[in-house]
Structure 1
Amino acid sequence: MKKHVLLPIGAIAAAGLAATALTAPAQAGRVLTSTKLAGPAQAGSTVKFWLDGGGSKLKAADPYGMEHNTVPKHVSKGAPAADGKPGIVPAIGDEKKTTAKSKNVNLPKTVGRVFFSIGSGLYSCSASSVQSAYHNLVATAGHCVYDIESNHQVVDNWVFIPGYYDGKAPWGVYVGKQAFTHYDFDVYEDADRDYSFVTVYSGIGWDYQKNVYKDLGPLGNNVGGQGLAYNQKVGAPVFVFGYPAAPHGDGNYVWTGEKLKWCYGKPYFPVKEASVKAEEQVGLKCSMTGGSSGGPWILKYSSARRLGYINGVTSLGGDTDDNGRSDMISSPYFDGETYGVYKAAYSLWSGSLVRKDGTLGITEAKSE
């Protein structure tokens, strides 16, 4: 693990998108499920689970994806039925900034890998830091948090490592505290709601001089946090980031999962796959494979500030022309119900896992 360095938080303006206050649209029926991932007493063992042995388990984790019987298909042209007006939540530091343009594609510091276990299996997905009241929130796919194989509710030993690179954690390790997802995904595994927002404890690093754990503070203070957009028209270009690791269908290992990759293009709608109840997903031409699940789809991405607005997360994918190479990915459409799930997690405090003596354990935290 690298020595921790606190980096400045960038910004990007809300140009071209309708701004909104943090008030959820009216909801019909039940849309929210929340589940604890780890209390302070369990979180310390989660950190040790992944870091003992020099982080060898991180390298051993397999890419995780939502299995579907056939390749999701773009069945016709159309537009999603937005359930309210378009809205955005500004990125961290973006509240009063102006737009900056850049032709370079600088990779976002907010994006990283998620690691978790299911039984004896070790798995990985992708995710990103997103704006919240305490700068402690992560956006990812629902199937990267909820156990869709054994219905054990949530996965075990869930951590987020922003900026992950070749087994290194440059901004520390963040243990998941509480996961929020749509009721239809938790109960029915409906891929149209395959997203989750996870509160995380303050980051954990290692003080090499004192040989003790170090409290790195809130996630968003260290790497920033993307904004959020919902009820947007489909078709505006997006950058998609993730850590693909699985081979293509022809067995070719193009990706390793050790480095952040990206795609760029104009999404299309709708994408359907009946085996996972997907009827209204958004598609994009992209060759990422398993392991990229949960990676952010970012509107209005500024390379200069490395920030924009998350408007989707990678859910499904496949080979549309049957040549043995993955060539498309898809995301749930972010609407007002997505925003409602996000808002439920937005204002929750997490706390620290590092005691004053540099050991891991329960520390004082604000009430929730």
Structure 2
Amino acid sequence: MIALGVGLSVLSSTVVTSPAQAATVVAVPLAPAVATAQEVARFWLADDAANLRNATPYALRTVAGGERLSTEIVPDGTPHSVPPVEAENPVAGDLPMTSGKVFFIGGDGRPHWCTGTSVQSQYRNLVATAGHCMLDTEAPAGGLGKWVFVPAYSEGATPFGLYVGKQGIIHYDFDDIRDYDRDYAFVTVYSGVVLSSPDVLTNLGRLGDKVGCQGLAVNQPLPPTADVFGYPAGTHPDGTGPYTGRTLERSAGSTFATKTTGLPADRPVGVDSPFTGEGSLGSAWVTGYASDTRTGYLNGLTISVADTDGDNRYDTGISPYFDTELFLVYRDAAHRWTGSITYISG
């Protein structure tokens, strides 16, 4: 893994400042104790995963006003990349095993979901998603409840198990002032589990070993195109609803600088994508995607969508630009160990 050469550490929810880049990182506890994580896993997996099946797409800040710009994005530092990792035992197909749904309890007390993706880390235990799909931005502080990741989720199935979030790592500016240029989260997850009997959790191993890990690219010029992987649902403004959110969808399009209204961000980027907002929050933007390995480089995360041409159909996904600040948050998260919530071998 390529390091930035900056010492950075975070303990609990303490904010630590990097003297070189003045970046600050916040660690948000999700299920810090094994007993709590076990309860979370059983909540989602009990009754034939009824709570997973009954969850609805998260509808917070799904839509923004957008204008496409012809200006270039200027990186704020040295370009860096982290290579992807293939799954140990890949299954047939051309869509990434790394993408899946993140499930949680929203501020309304009900189960919801966004999209997330496995990304390279030291312990193969890291999920990237939109920051407001981990942090409860409608509350004074804290993470969304009972947070889990299910890679390759499809029609209620958990083919590679369920992974309980231990900590969410975010930028201080998103936690403190809701700066949507920092609307990203890297969540450390325990090893995966399935419910092998009504009350017995069976360990499936580390996330990245099971499904692989996307790489990461930061401080890069905007790529000509990006593949977007997510679970869009909901409807366009004209009432059409082309997506159900039940299975992973893929779109590919050009990228560009954007100007947004209704979303406090100074340097967002856009991608041509017909995805609707609900469900696609947290969708991975992958550059250099190879269908044979089903990996590439994560270079964006959908935080909202926009209709930029006024035809009442969404045509643009919006993401923060992946810069040095993001890399420092990622780098802190990528070295955090989590372990297992059960020692029963699967």
Structure-2 change in CA distance of 1:211 and 1:64 (3 Å): closer
What stretches of structure 1 of length at least 5 have no aligned partner? 1-18, 95-104, 359-368
Query: In 2, distance between residues paired with 1:155 and 1:107?
Result: 28
Q: 2:210 aligns with which of 205, 222, 230?
A: 222
Q: Measure, in 2, the Cα distance between the counterparts of 1:70 and 1:198.
A: 25
Shift of 1:247: 1.8
1:293 is aligned to: 281
Corresponding residue for residue 14 of structure 1 = none
- The reply to whether residue 61 of structure 1 matches residue 55 of structure 2 is yes
Letter in 2 for 1:280: R
Contact map agreement 2:62 2:303 (CA 8 A) in 1? no
Distance 1:200 1:70, change over 3 A: closer
Match of 1:23 in 2: 5
Name 2:76's counterpart in structure 1: 83
Residue identity in the other structure for 1:252: T
User: Could you tell me the percent identity over the aligned residues?
Assistant: 41
Distance 1:66 1:272 in 2: 20
Q: Deviations over 1:225-250 (max 9, x none)?
A: 01100001013321110001122222
What is the rounded CA distance, in whole Å, between the counterparts of 1:225 and 1:91 in structure 2?
Answer: 5
Cα gap change, 1:151 to 1:274, in 2 (>3 Å): farther
Q: How many residues align?
A: 328
Q: 2:345, 2:280 → 1: CA distance?
A: 37
Looking at structure 1, the residues matched to 64 and 212 of structure 2 have their Cα atoms a distance apart, in angstroms, of 37
Please give the alpha-carbon distance, in whole angstroms, between the structure 1 residues aligned to 2:20 and 2:102.
30
Retained in 1: the 8 A contact 2:77–2:324?
yes
Q: Which runs of 5+ in 2 are unaligned?
A: 7-17, 88-92
Q: Distance in 1 between matches of 2:150 and 2:51?
A: 13
Please tell me the residue identity of whatever aligns with 1:221. D
> What's the offset of the Cα at 1:73?
1.9
| Contact kept? 1:37, 1:176, Cα under 8 Å | yes
Structure 1 residue aligned with 2:163:
174
Over aligned residue pairs, what C-alpha RMSD do you find? 2.3
Separation (CA, whole Å) in 2 of partners of 1:70 and 1:293? 12
Question: Separation in 2 of the partners of 1:124 and 1:36?
Answer: 19
Structure 1, 30-39 or 59-68: larger mean CA deviation = 59-68
Residue number in structure 1 paired with 2:265:
278
Where does 1:330-349 land on structure 2 (aligned, <5 Å)? 330-349=318-337
- Confirm or deny: 8 A CA contact 1:227 1:309 kept in the other structure: yes
* 115, 130, 146: which one aligns with 1:141: 130
CA contact (8 A) 1:66 1:316 kept: no
Aligned in 2, Cα 1:27/1:274: closer, same or farther, shift over 3 Å? farther
TM-score w.r.t. length of structure 2: 0.88
Moved >3 Å (runs of 4+):
19-28, 355-358
TM-score, L = length of structure 1: 0.83
SS at match of 2:233: coil
Which region of structure 1 is more displaced relative to structure 2, 211-220 or 161-170? 211-220
Supply the distance in 2 between the matched residues of 1:233 and 1:297 (Cα, whole angstroms).
14
CA contact (8 A) 2:226 2:271 kept: no
Q: Which amino acid aligns with 2:332?
A: A
Q: Where do residues 133-282 of structure 1 align in structure 2 (5 Å cutoff)?
A: 133-207=122-196, 212-269=200-257, 271-282=258-269
Give how far 1:36 is off: 0.9
* 1:326 paired residue number: 314
Q: Which amino acid is 1:114 matched to?
A: V
